Amino acid sequence: MNGTSVRKVAIVGGARIPFCRSNTLYAQRSNQDMLTAAFKAVVDKYQLHGEVLGEVQAGAVLKHSRDFNLCREAALSSGLAAETPAADVQMACGTGLQAAIGIANKIALGQIDVGMAGGVDTASDAPIGVNEKLRQQLLKVNRARTTQQKAMAAVGLLPKWFSMPSIPGVQERRTKMSMGEHCELMVKEWKIAREDQDQLAYLSHKNAAKAYDEGFYKDLVVPYSGAERDNNLRPDTTLEKLASLGPAFDKKSGRGTLTAGNSTPLTDGASAVLLASEDWAKARGMKVLAYLTGAQTAGVDFVNKKEGLLMAPAYAVPRMLARAGIKLQDFDFYEIHEAFAGQVLCTLKAWNDDKFCKERVGLPGKLGEIDRSKLNIKGSSVALGHPFAATGGRILATLAKIIDGNGGGRGLVSICAAGGLGVTAILER
């Protein structure tokens, strides 16, 4: 560490490839292909060719075993100097933001002057493993020393095992329930109406479409593999169209409210963001869009205490606000990741609930409401898509540009994640 002072962490900017629904335009693209493209976009944007950065951190949720050094391999192909170190990070849907926090902490402590953070995911090229019984038997064959021993082990291989692949899912290991099924429990607990979920989804599409039409995303989204904008975006959607969709997760009770229209689809894509010390940015004539001034992670017990799987941000944000000495209303912009429209509404309702804030969070009273006109003003995950690890970088680059375009201000970032996790941050200038 250089001295004892904590340095300010600047967000210089970021870039991403368009997010595309899985099994569409990026069906033949790998995590490494897409992450490399996002890194190259930042390198080109800020003329970092041949530069040695302090560190690069990024990750993916759905990874092949060959991607054990994913971030390093992508960095080596990005145009940065090969001497730039890189590390993989993984925290479910919070991966991209967690990577940025890791880089930011090193900058703040003086360990590095500049770094890049990002994330990527593809459900199109998801790793498919062999049947577990087949895997164990193949390992037994591999451990055998002699030809005879290998032949004897091979006899134990049953033909049916070869037709029973292990396909990755989005189920929670401990509950065997999907994220959508968990969110159905949440919206029932918090009494979130279907109409309110559809309304939030509608605004996500309308805000994103308007942002594209106004050119907001022109320098944030780079064309890739035939895509020029996020292909999940539906500018022509209506509340009537959204209302016509049936339940996607709770199809039997007659009370399911999560649909394909108010939930994020499986998405492929990648993003990256450049962070630096003020001195590094100033020396290169680079404008500081915003500063990353606070961060907080949290976890909830969604198994034994039956807390909502995606409610961790409801706990993380109050702790972060207390440390910063500010209120929930002291923000000009709110970027709350829309895993599901219902998840966002559950979180907002919890913050405005006296009992929740007192009994579960330990606050003297509720945090209160936010000005909804400041929420996800350029669209969010329901409209733009959600490649798990790439969402954090998308939000950081978007919010930093919003703050700069506003001439300053303060923004809240809130991302829920599988495993009962949440990652939050504060940006301001």
Cα gap 341→159, rounded to integer Å:
45
Q: Which token pair is 80?
A: 């940065």
Q: Residue 104: beta bridge partners?
A: none
Distances (CA, A) of 196 to 84, 222, 239, 252, 258: 47, 33, 10, 21, 11
Q: Tell which residue, 312, 309, 389, has the closest CA to residue 91.
A: 389
Q: Say whether 396 sits in a helix, a strand or coil.
A: helix
Question: Active site residue: 20, 71, 93, 183, which one?
Answer: 93
**How far is residue 172's CA from residue 174's CA, in Å, rounded to a whole number?**
6
Instruction: Pick the catalytic residue from 182, 205, 337, 386.
Output: 386
Helices (H), ranges, 69-193: 70-76, 95-108, 132-143, 147-155, 179-189
State how far the alpha carbon of 256 is from the alpha carbons of 247, 253, 306, in Å.
5, 7, 19
Spatial CA neighbour of 189 closest among 251, 246, 255, 264: 255
- Which residues have CB under 8 Å from 81's CB, separation 6+? 50, 51, 52, 53
CA-CA distances (angstroms) from residue 370 to 129, 193, 300, 331, 366?
Answer: 45, 19, 23, 9, 12
**How far is Cα 23 from Cα 41, in angstroms, rounded to an integer?**
23
CB within 8 A of 313, min separation 6: which ones? Answer: 298, 336, 347, 414, 415, 416, 422, 423, 424
DSSP state of 410: E
Catalytic-residue membership of 183: no
The sign of the CA dihedral 396, 400, 406, 412 is: positive
Rg over CA atoms, the chain: 22
Residue 386 among the catalytic residues: yes
Identified catalytic residue from 20, 71, 346, 416 = 416
Nearest-CA neighbor of 271 among 363, 361, 386, 368?
386
Beta carbons within 10 angstroms of residue 165's beta carbon? 11
Q: Which residue has the tokens 């995911």?
A: 121
Q: How many CB atoms lie within 10 A of CB 81?
A: 14
Catalytic residues: 93, 386, 416
